[in-house]
Amino acid sequence: MYREVVVECMDGSESEDDSSNHSLDISIRRARISDVDGIVSVYSSSIDYLDVESRDWIESIVRRRSRRARIYVAIGDGSVLGFIVVYKKRSRAYIDAFAVDPRYRGRGIGQHLLNYVEKVLATEGVERVYLTVKNHNSRALGIYIRNGYRISNIVLILEASSGDIDSSMDRLDSVAVKIDSIKRSVFPKVRLLDTAIWSNYTWDVDDAIYRASTEEAIAITVYRGRRLVGVARISINQNRIVVERLALSFYKPTESLKMAINAIKMRLVQQSDKIIAIPVDSTKSSLLRTLISMGFKVVDSEYVLYKDLLENIDNEIQQEQEMVAVHR
C-alpha cells in the first residue's frame, strides 16, 4: 500500500515579476478530515473547470474511507495545494476531479499528484483509468495527452425546456413511476445501459455517499408492467433539473428513454417550465437522435480520455532495463 511521499517541486514560472526558481517540498497522501476546508478552497478557485460540489459532499467522501471513492491531496506550505478525487471499480478507475491551487500552478505539483495516484491504482490492479475534460479546458487536455492519455469519445450535455419536450407516447398510462429520496431508495441490481461513461464507475458509491451526507437527490424508477424501463438520480436547483444518472433497459433502449424522460417531466415539473439537462456519450447515437427528436439540444461537451496503466508500467520497465544495459 502506498503511504505518504515527499517530493520537491520547482517553480518553473517565467513571469517578469519573479524570474527566480523556488523549491517547495510537498507531501502526497490520502485526504484527512482536517484537509476538507483546503480541498474546498482549491475547488472553489477552479470552478471554471470543475462541476460544483459542496463541502458536505467532499467531507462525506473523506469520512467514509472507502476503497471505491477517495481523495488524495498534495500538502505544502502548511495547506492543501492540490487534490484528486478518484473512483475505483475492479480493474477500472475514474478521476472525477483534479485541481491545483492557482497560486502554485507551474511547479509540477499536479504532475507529481497524478503520477502518485496512477501508481497507487496500478498496484491495486487497475488496468485503465478514465477522466473527462471540459471542452474549453484546452490546457488540461494538452497536459493529459502529454502524459499518455488518449481521447476515446465525447460526452454531450443536452438540455431542453420541459415545455418544449415532445411527450406524445402511446400507452403512457401503463407506465408506473416510483419517486423517493435517494437516501431511502434502493435501485434494482440489474444490468442497465448508462447514458454517460462515468456512471459506470460512480453511481453506486455516490448513492452511499448521499446517504451519509446532508446532500439530497431524487431517485426515480420507471416500470412498464413488470418490466424495468430505467432508473434516474436527479438533483433540482430552482428551475433546473439535472439528471446525474440515467440508466435504461437494454430492451428497446430508445423507447425506454422516451418513457423515462416523460416520467421525469410529468412527475417533477408541476407548474413553471424547468430546464432538464442530461449527459449522453457520443457513441450512443440512437439515444442522442431520440433526445434531439424530443426537443433537446446539445449545449456543452466533455472529452473522455483514458490511459492504460499496465502499458505505462511496461514502458517504465523497458526504460529501466535499457538504462541498466547502458551502464554495464
Whether the per-residue pLDDT at 127 is higher than 90: the answer is yes
Q: Assign 3 a pLDDT band (cuts: 50, 70, 90).
A: low
pLDDT tens digits, 19-71: 333 578 999 999 999 999 999 999 999 877 667 678 899 999 999 989 999 99
Q: Are 125 and 91 within 8 A, CB to CB? A: yes
Q: What's the alpha-carbon Rg for the chain, to the nearest Å?
A: 22
Tell me which DSSP letter residue 35 carries. G
Tell me which CATH homologous superfamily contains domain 5-10+23-126. Gcn5-related N-acetyltransferase (GNAT) (3.40.630.30)
Nearest one of 113, 103, 187 to 143, comparing CA atoms: 113
CA atoms within 13 A on the CB side of 100: 18
- pTM summary value: 0.86
Three-class DSSP category at 171: coil
Whether the per-residue pLDDT at 219 is higher than 60: the answer is yes
Give the CATH fold of the 156-303 domain.
Aminopeptidase (3.40.630)
Residue with cell 415545455: 163
Q: How far apart are CA 60 and CA 92, in angstroms?
A: 22
Residue 166 grid cell: 415532445
pLDDT for res 258: 95
pLDDT for res 311: 79
Domain pair 5-10+23-126 / 156-303, same fold? yes
Whether the per-residue pLDDT at 168 is higher than 60: the answer is yes
pLDDT tens digits, 257-316: 999 999 999 888 866 789 999 999 999 999 999 999 999 999 999 999 999 998 765 555
Q: Assign 174 a pLDDT band (cuts: 50, 70, 90).
A: confident
Residue spans of the domains in the chain: they are: 5-10+23-126, 156-303
Q: Are 153 and 305 within 8 A, CB to CB? A: no
Element (H, E) at 130: strand 128-134
